[in-house]
Amino acid sequence: MKYDELVAEIKEQFMKADVSRIKEHIAYQFNIEGEAQGAFYADIADGKLSIEPYEYYDRDVLFTTTAETLLEISAGKLDAVDAFTKGKLKVEGDFEKALKLQDFTKGASQTSGVKKAAVQKAASVKNTVRKAVDKKKAAAAGK
């Protein structure tokens, strides 16, 4: 994977997140080591997220990791805190703001989970209605 492909993939994943509840300004810089090496930033301001392929010198948090680890975090396959405790994600700066990364990466990864839950709920309602209709038909046939 190339650097520009990584930034595009991360941008696609992170932009799915609902950051509207985050009213403070947060600036993250991601330093990628190994494959797709480079730096980019994610900036949250007034509940809006922007991601650009540049360094952010006035950042609140600096994350250093590999492309593979960051993709796993953005896809919801790896918890950011777990990645940190396992040494896969290095964090410098404001740890309180760093923890908010987990909030919006979970939001991004749960977008498909929300759709799945909605489909499951709709199927459950449909089954309940079907059972009620069958029960009424059976009662009407028995009269």
The number of residues making up the chain comes to: 143
Query: 38-45 and 48-52 as β-strands: parallel, antiparallel, unpaired?
Result: antiparallel
Question: What local confidence, expressed as pLDDT, does residue 79 receive?
Answer: 87
Query: 90-93 and 61-66 as β-strands: parallel, antiparallel, unpaired?
Result: antiparallel
Predicted structure pTM score: 0.71
Question: What local confidence, expressed as pLDDT, does residue 132 receive?
Answer: 62
What tokens does 38 get? 């480079």
Question: What local confidence, expressed as pLDDT, does residue 99 receive?
Answer: 86
Question: What local confidence, expressed as pLDDT, does residue 127 receive?
Answer: 54
The pLDDT profile of the chain, 143 residues, written as one tens digit per residue, is: 899 999 999 998 888 888 888 888 999 999 999 999 999 999 999 889 999 998 988 999 999 999 999 999 888 888 888 899 999 999 999 988 998 887 666 555 444 444 445 445 555 555 565 566 577 677 777 75
